[in-house]
Structures are given as structure tokens and as C-alpha cells.
Structure 1
Amino acid sequence: MRIMAFDYGTKRIGIAVTDPMQLIATSLTTIHPEEIWTFLTDYLREEKIETFVVGKPLQMDGTASQSAQHIVGFMRKLKKVYPSIPVVEVDERFTSKMATRVIAQSGAKRNKRQEKNLVDTVSATIILQTYMDSKTFL
């Protein structure tokens, strides 16, 4: 079974998944929030998901950021629509900056580095990898 992670935004949702053995986190896609439920329905017909991981936007002092209210609504609906799949939050501070740096280090051209879709999927991958790393120490 796979683990799926979301970098949730009001304009785009970056999505990443693990391989079935949960060894590697991979960028999957970026979609508009209105399309997420159709996307998940279709995806879950083909693949089994063990856990949903959602990036939790926090401020530097650890308090919830302004965008946190949108994530709470998204997580609530995830739990309602897919009650058998646990939903876990992971601190997503700095993931966008880290994603931009990773993309730059990969040798991508400047215009490619600034593509928000790419940044969102790489951010989701970092969120997923953070979660996977935390599980190995439990």
C-alpha cells in the first residue's frame, strides 16, 4: 500500500506518493482543488492508500498560519469521504523554499524553477519524505 501526501493550496494541490513498498517518495501531479475529489476517486480505484499526509502550514513560532483554516476543511473532508484511511499532519514550514532549491540544484532553467506546479509537487514530495523519515524512528 502507498502513502499519499498533499501540499494543499487554494489554487493548486501538489500530490506525491510512495511506491507500494513505501521506500521512495515521488512527485505525482498538481491539480486544482476543485478536481481533488474526482482525482482521488479515480486514483483509489487503481491503488491502495494506507495513509494521507497533509502539510500543515505553521508560522515560525509554531502557531497555525492564515492558510491553516483551508487545510482543516480539506482534512475534515478527507476523513469524511475516506474514513478508513488515516490522515496525518506534517509541518510544512520551508518546504516551498526547499523545493525551489532542489529544483535549482537539479539544473533546471530559471523559468522551470519558477513554475508553481513543479514547486507544489516537489513540496508534496518533501512533506511525504519528512513523514517517511519520522516513521523510521518510531
Structure 2
Amino acid sequence: MQEYARLVGIDVGKKRVGIAQTDLLKTIASPVGTFSPEEALSEIQKITENASVEKFVVGWPLSLKGEEGSATQMVNNFIKKLRHSFPNIDIAKVDERYTSNQARSLMIEAGVPQKKRREKGRVDRIAAAIILQNYLDSNS
């Protein structure tokens, strides 16, 4: 494990991709933003140019029963693009069930107004941070 390198969390959706990153000590995940799938790869490129990135942590959208489906195939296609564009960066898949609900709950706790909580992009980037923080917490 590289001492001073970031992890980048990615929440892939059909229309939007939420991106988060850790601090250099890999203790806290913070949302970066929400992008179209095409913009997401160029945003990830910018992140890798500005800091060393050790690993991509990608949300793996299993069904409530823990099964793979069409959503996992879509994410797998995105992972293939990541591997092609960044062959030297490891990729971890993390179960992302319930992260969108957790993101909404966090926004309620933080006092985010209901109108802003409905913004899908806001949920996606917070979900990416939750995916990444869950990975950090389970691997520390």
C-alpha cells in the first residue's frame, strides 16, 4: 500500500457517476462531484494527474438478494474502461446496496433542505463517498 496516495470511490449509474476521493492519509472519504459517464473518465484522469491514486473503489450494484444483474453488467463495462485507461491502478468492487438510502439519511441529519435532497447528483456523489468510506472502514 502506497503511503501517500488517494483512493477514488466511484458510484456508476446510467446517467450519472458519483466520484469521491480520500485524503492522502486514506482516513476520510469526501465527495468530488457527479458527472456524466463520459465526463467521469476525464475527471478521474484529472484526479490521477494531480495526485497519486492507489486504487479505484467501485460500487457493485447487487440486488437485494445479493445477485448480479443488468446493473452489474453496466458497472462492469465501466470497469473495463477504467482498466484500459488506468492499467496500473488496482480496482476493488464493493457491495453498494443501501448506499443511496444512507446518503439521503445523512443529508437529512445534516439539515439539507428537501429540495436539495431530491437532486440525484447530490445523492450520487455522497453515495460514492459512503462506498469509499465503507471500504476504508472495513480495510483499516
Same fold, TM exceeding 0.5?
Answer: yes
Deviation by residue 1:98-119 (Cα, 9 ceiling, x = unmatched): 1011101110111011111110
Residue correspondence of structure 1 range 53-132 to structure 2 within 5 A:
53-132=57-136
Give the CA deviation at 1:121: 0.7
User: What are structure 2's unaligned runs of at least 5 residues?
Assistant: none
Match of 2:28 in 1: 24
In structure 2, what is the Cα distance between the partners aligned to 1:42 and 1:6? 14
Q: Which runs of 5+ in 1 are unaligned?
A: none
What percentage of aligned pairs have identical amino acids? 38
Query: Is the partner of 1:3 in helix, strand or coil?
Result: strand
- Partner SS state of residue 67, structure 1: helix
Q: 2:86, 2:11 → 1: CA distance?
A: 18
- Give CA-to-partner distance per residue, 1:30-77, whole Å, 9 cap, x none: 111111222222221111110000000011211013211110011111
- AA aligned to 1:103 is M
Q: What is the TM-score when the length of structure 1 is the normalising length? A: 0.95
RMSD: 0.9
AA in 2 matched with 1:33:
P
* Amino acid in structure 1 at the alignment position of 2:15: K
